[in-house]
Amino acid sequence: MLDYELDKTFAALADPARRAMVERLVQGPATVSELARPLPMSLPAAMLHLKVLEESGLVTSRKAGRVRTCQIDPARLSLAERWVGERLRMWEASLDRLGAFLDATKPQDEP
């Protein structure tokens, strides 16, 4: 169970189209049509995905004339969040090894 903000981040990223958008935005800001173009979907569908990313706080956008430009909110993709993910994996791996150790040292009378 991650905290609420992190939960929203992970939920927003739990979609290949949104991950593709984020991967593109990590390289630098892009317009909505630039983000939508490589995706196998309509522009309105891409905009719905973008809305999820904006609501998660991962992505911010601003409109200049008729062009909306999006960028990553760097605070949301901090190394600190990477540490959280790695920590969770570290403990899962440790407990996997503990489970294997308990199996390997099972006494005779244990079912």
Partner 1 sequence: MTSTRSVTHASFTITRHWKAAPARVFQAFADQSQKDKWFGGVKGEWEPVSRSFDFRVGGRENVSGRWKKTGIVSHFDCIYQDIVENERIIYSYVMHLDDRKISVSQQCIEITPDGAGSKLVLTEYGDYLDGYDDNGGREHGTNMLMDHLAASIGE
Provide the b/e sequence for 25-63 (b: ≥16 CB within 10 Å): beeeebebeebbeebeeeeeebeebbebbeebebbebee
Candidate list 3, 40, 44, 63; residue touching partner 1; CB under 8 A: 3
Candidate list 34, 54, 73, 81; residue touching partner 1; CB under 8 A: 81
Query: How many other CB atoms are there within 10 angstroms of residue 103's CB atom?
Result: 9
CA distance 24 to 7: 22
Site for partner 1 in 7-66 (CB under 8 A): 10, 13-14, 16, 19, 22-23, 26
**Which window, 3-11, 32-40, 45-53, 62-70, contacts partner 1 (CB under 8 A)?**
3-11
Site residues (vs partner 1, CB under 8 A): 1-3, 6, 10, 13-14, 16, 19, 22-23, 26, 72, 74-75, 77-89, 91-95, 97-103, 105-107, 110-111
